[in-house]
Structure 1
Amino acid sequence: MKIICIGRNYAEHAAELNNALPKQPLIFMKPSTALLKDGKAFYYPDFSQDIHYELELVIKICRTGKSVAPKFAHKYYEEVGLGIDLTARDLQSKCKEKGHPWEIAKAFDHSAIVGRFLPKAEAQEAEGHYCFELKQDGQSVQQGDSRKMITDIDNLIAYVSKFFSLQKGDLIFTGTPAGVGPIAQGQEYKGFLKGQELLSCEIR
């Protein structure tokens, strides 16, 4: 199982971090040890003092594929869910300054919080897109709409599959909208897709 992540897929998020928009989807990976599910708590590690939440729509791959054409990409996922891509922003900044890869800032243990999944027909709005929201201690901190993606889901699947064979169970984190921010011990995060709570995590 692979966790494939897309960076800077919403223009407003790229702008809030003063990042240039990529000409092609920006891909990075997380190992299976990054996965945190079933509502388990996240324990703040001692190697960072500035970990941020990034809520994302997550696609669960349902069949094996390679070099998938965009017109067939919809056949490669049946369920969608939510995930929080945790980012050690202080480590990421240091890595960027030196031109180093940023796996230690993105791929550390339990940095991919995932909730339950819904059939895509149940999760879609009437127009066929997805709306999602993250609440921090009951207050809304992020709202997303898949129509604002720079590269849409089908084209993401097609692009990713050029480089990596897709396998059943792989997860694609499709990018975060604007509104990211730091987490702190004692906080609780809940993610909602089409108004349904799919994700919950306490920070300890």
Structure 2
Amino acid sequence: MKMELKTKNMEDFLTILGKNDDDATQGGGIYLSNDDELIKETVEHLKKGYDKEKYTFIESKYTNRNIKEYVPLEILRLMIMIMMKKIKELNSEITLYDIGYEFGRHINPKNYMELKKFFRKNNLGVLKIESKNPVIIKVNDCALCDGLKSNESICYFDAGVLAGAYECILNKTVVVDEIRCMAQGADACYFKIEPVK
């Protein structure tokens, strides 16, 4: 699958992606022939751009851009809410769970502690194993729903991320259900993880 990305300043875009060769451009657009490779590069940037000791983002390790502040979390939330709305409108079979699942697979953690650190460093929430049989993961300070109110669980993306990540950790397919959600008034978000039989 080819993806065409156009911008007025291609030099800036190439710098952000870490690419700087003329072969990457064709006819005014950038053609990225391998989507998985682009995703992998971006995940690697996320992993190396953070100070592991201080849990702070080091912008200079990520890009040459001169940005003084972080992108607000509300932008991420808004993007996800718009995706949810569009998915429903289009009656798509693709869900936020599926998108999260792919994200979790690309994180490719080797164990629970690696996943926990990734969540914490990227301000996605603080993971804690609440139960081992069945596996229930508690997520404090959930980035996607903290402060929101809903009649139903809304962390489909997080559930998918945990499913993809735990597939890598356990080397088997799992299904993840959010059983309690902060948006419904719970003290944290709780996810039940079960291997597919």
User: Which band: TM-score by shorter chain?
Assistant: under 0.3
Q: When you count helix as a share of all residues, which structure comes out higher?
A: 2
Q: When you count strand as a share of all residues, which structure comes out higher?
A: 1
Query: TM-score, normalising length from structure 2?
Result: 0.26
Query: TM-score, normalising length from structure 1?
Result: 0.26
Q: Is the radius of gyration larger for structure 1 or structure 2?
A: 2
